[in-house]
Each structure stands twice: as C-alpha cells, then as structure tokens.
C-alpha cells in the first residue's frame, strides 16, 4: 500500500540548463536566464496548487561569482527585478518569501528589497518560497559552526543552519541532465529523493513537474529502516 502522503512538503530545485537552452536558439546565455524566471513563476503556481508547502530554488551559488562578469551582473539584476515585480503578487497569493545565503555580498538595494519582501510576507502560510542566492551548502555548514561556537553550542547543531525552522526537502529536482548536487543543501538532502531530468530549466513546465511528482509517489522512503518496518507502520497508520 502506498504511503498516505505522496506530495512532497518541501521541494528543492536546481534550475540547470538556461545557458544551453539559449545557445540552442543562437541567443546569448542570459536570454536563457530570463526565460528561466518564467519557469520559476510557473513552478511557484503549480507547486502551490499541488500541495507543496515549501519550495527552495537555487538562483545563485557561492561559486557562480566565477562566471563572466556580465553574466554575474545580469543574474543579480534579474533577481532584483524579478523580486521587485513579483513581491506584491507573492504576498496576495499567501507566499512567504525568504532569501537564503550570504546576502551581505549583494548590493545594498537588493539587501533592502529582500528585507522589505521578507517583512511584508512573513505572516503568509500558503507556501514558503526560499530563494538561495549566494548560497552554498558548505557555506551554510561553516556559518552554522561559527554561530554554534559563538553560542557555546547551546542548541542542536541543525538549529544554526539556514533552514533550521523548515522541514528537510522530500524531493530534489535537477534539470539539465547533470546528476550532481553542486553544493546545494548538503546537510538537508540526507534522506531526500533525488530526481534528475534532461529537460532544460526554461522548458520545465507543468507536465515535467507532474512527472516528477508521479516518480516521487512511487518511492518508498525508509529513513534507515527496513522496507518491512516501513510497510508495517504505514499499514497501522492507515488501518
Ligand atoms: C543554471 O543554468 C542556472 C543558473 C546559474 C541561474 C538560475 C537563475 C534563474 C533561473 C533566474 C533567477 C531566479 C529567480 C528566482 C529570480 P546554467 O547557466 O548553468 O545553464 P547551462 O548548464 O546550460 O550553461
């Protein structure tokens, strides 16, 4: 028998393939990032409608600074513009916005916008949208170690990580054909189901999302237990 809840509560996404999407069309790489924002907008809607309560997208990694300067500048401006244009709509739809990462490296305008968006949407509860920006899983562990040391480790280690108040991701999706984590949520992905698709991020639409959900629904999540133990508990719960 299938588990009772087959929709992931927390979905984490690596949106890969923007550059290739553009290059296939003889467009500059940044055109792929622009189209990628449309795919994020669409995912926020369909994920919310499907019952996902927490969505984390990787917009800019600690390592993305190594890209050509024009691309870095474009990505930063794209994030700023998208947030400025979308924040009201996110708020109307009951979305709580969070930026996760070392935001101190972003422009002061972007930091102010982030603070305003977080303050405006903090009471919303339909969907939590975490945008990882200047984020890296190793950065998160390092900053948590520093905080824990400064606090004399007065709480469980995970309490010092960026996602302390959120459940670990149930499903991870990476588009663009590569099968790696790329320094995303290193601590939090310990028991996450990992889904990889060849689809390039700007092409990732509702049918692709539904395919990932269908795949997830077939997984048996054991969290270190045996399959028999898991099935026994599921049968008891549903009896
Ligand atoms: C990876 O594709 C994608 C990124 C590094 C940036 C992702 C950003 C967006 C989708 C837009 C901004 C997001 C928000 C939330 C406003 P790639 O460039 O590595 O593609 P490639 O592997 O084909 O080169």
pLDDT tens digits, residue range 119-141? 999 999 999 999 999 999 999 99
Q: Of the listed 64, 93, 124, 183, which one is catalytic?
A: 64
Q: Helix 206-217 crosses helix 29-50 at what angle (to 10 degrees)?
A: 50
Mean pLDDT along residues 142-170: 94
- For 122, the token pair is 């903090």
Of the candidates 58, 48, 3, 6, the residue with the CA atom closest to the CA atom of residue 213: 6
What is the model's pLDDT at position 153?
81
**What is the position in ligand 1's atom list of the atom closest to the CA of 83?**
16
Mind listing the domains of the chain with CATH numbers?
Answer: 4-238 (3.40.1180.10)
Share of the chain above pLDDT 90, in %: 88
Distance CA 228, CA 236 (A): 12
Which residues face 130 on adjacent strands? 56, 98
Note whether 172 and 155 are within 8 A (CB). Answer: no
- Identify whether the C-beta of residue 100 lies closer than 8 Å to the C-beta of residue 137: no
Active site residue 170: no
Query: Which atom of ligand 1 lies closest to the CA of 131?
Result: 15
pLDDT, average across residues 68-73: 96
* Residue 231 pLDDT: 84
Q: If you measure from the C-alpha of residue 18 to the centroid of ligand 1, how many angstroms do you get, rounded to a whole number?
A: 5
Mean pLDDT of the chain: 94
Read off the pLDDT of residues 4-24 as tens digits, 9 standing for 90 and up.
469 999 999 999 999 999 999
pLDDT of 2 higher than 80: no
pTM of the entire predicted model: 0.93
Separation of CA 125 and ligand 1 centre (Å): 27
Buried b vs exposed e over 121-157: b needs ≥16 C-beta within 10 Å?
beebeebbbbbbbbbbbebbbebbeeebeeeeeeeee
3-state SS string for 193-208: EEEECCCCHHHCCHHH
């Amino acid at each position: 028998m299938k588990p009772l809840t087959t929709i992931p509560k927390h979905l984490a996404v690596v949106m890969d393939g923007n550059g290739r999407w553009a290059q296939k069309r003889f467009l500059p790489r940044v055109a792929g990032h622009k189209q990628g924002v449309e795919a994020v907008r669409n995912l926020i809607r369909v994920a919310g409608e499907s019952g996902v309560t927490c969505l984390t997208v990787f917009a800019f990694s600690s390592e993305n600074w190594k890209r050509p300067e024009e691309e870095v500048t474009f990505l930063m401006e794209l994030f700023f513009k998208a947030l400025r244009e979308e924040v009201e709509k996110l708020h109307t739809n009951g979305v709580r916005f969070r930026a996760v990462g070392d935001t101190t490296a972003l422009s002061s305008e972007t930091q102010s916008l982030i603070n305003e968006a977080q303050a405006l949407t903090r009471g919303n509860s339909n969907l939590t949208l975490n945008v990882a920006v200047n984020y890296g899983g190793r950065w998160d562990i390092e900053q948590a170690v520093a905080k824990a040391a400064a606090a004399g480790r007065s709480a469980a280690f995970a309490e010092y990580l960026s996602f302390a108040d959120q459940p670990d991701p149930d499903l991870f999706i990476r588009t663009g054909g590569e099968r790696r984590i790329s320094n995303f949520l290193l601590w939090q992905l310990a028991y996450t189901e990992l889904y990889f698709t060849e689809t390039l991020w700007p092409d990732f639409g509702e049918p692709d999302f539904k395919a990932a959900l269908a795949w997830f629904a077939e997984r048996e999540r054991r969290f270190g237990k045996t399959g028999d133990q898991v099935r026994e508990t599921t049968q008891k719960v549903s009896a």
